[in-house]
Amino acid sequence: GESVGLHLPTLSVQEGDNSIINCAYSNSASDYFIWYKQESGKGPQFIIDIRSNMDKRQGQRVTVLLNKTVKHLSLQIAATQPGDSAVYFCAENAGGTSYGKLTFGQGTILTVHP
Amino acid sequence: DTAVSQTPKYLVTQMGNDKSIKCEQNLGHDTMYWYKQDSKKFLKIMFSYNNKELIINETVPNRFSPKSPDKAHLNLHINSLELGDSAVYFCASSQTQGGGYTFGSGTRLTVV
């Protein structure tokens, strides 16, 4: 399944499916992007990051794709598990004088059904 | 050992009161942040300190005053609390400017 971020949409998938969460970022000067996972009652947790000189990066069961032309970021989760249920945020950083300031998207709620 | 710890986890207080939230990180990071998360889960930066120096101060009411006694601590003091201050406040730290953050578990502030 797919979903578009920034408006807190909800994505429901079955256990074992692949999930795709999308994010449109706003600043063409952004050069560093991060995906975070936030479980209920907890702080955001780092999942994977990517720099602007790359268009794809893979982690364990997760892949981030970056399309700078259209300012689009996606997070793919393979073989989604119930423990993946959370709110997912993309974040961008413009570097330079931003001094580490991360600008977060609105988030996407992922619900995984057993 | 908790990497970024905030206290208290929950804070319920009346309008007009003054309250503080404390944050400590044991990661050796040199930059710390305060973020506010509203009821719609939107996360917005409030402040950032690098080695005890304020480097980011977003449009936040003067009632909010951060204090960093050393690079491992960043506290947030709020004067004259208002209903609209109710939110979850997250502390975070990072190793290098522009790097990924490590977040605390949040402080849920409820103003009644």
**What band does A3 get if pLDDT is binned at 50, 70 and 90?**
very low
CB contact, 8 Å: B45 with chain A? yes
pLDDT digits (tens, 9 = 90+) for B66-95: 999 999 999 999 999 999 999 999 999 988
What's the Cα-to-Cα distance from A22 to each of A72, A102, A106, B23, B46, rounded to whole Å? Answer: 7, 18, 11, 32, 26
pLDDT digits (tens, 9 = 90+) for A36-54: 999 999 999 999 999 999 9
Please say whether the beta carbons of B18 and B32 come within 8 A: no
**What band does A94 get if pLDDT is binned at 50, 70 and 90?**
confident
**What band does A98 get if pLDDT is binned at 50, 70 and 90?**
very low
Instruction: Average the pLDDT over each of A8-17, A51-60, A104-113, B45-54 and give the range with the smallest value.
Output: B45-54
Q: Across the interface, do A102 and B42 touch by the CB < 8 Å criterion? A: no
Please say whether the beta carbons of A78 and A58 come within 8 A: no
pLDDT digits (tens, 9 = 90+) for B1-56: 679 999 999 999 999 999 999 999 999 998 999 999 998 899 999 999 988 888 88
Q: Which one has a higher pLDDT value, B21 or B96?
A: B21
CB contact, 8 Å: A9 with chain B? no
- Measured from the Cβ of residue B7, the count of other Cβ atoms closer than 10 Å reads 13
Shortest distance between the Cα of A18 and any Cα of chain B, in A, equals 24
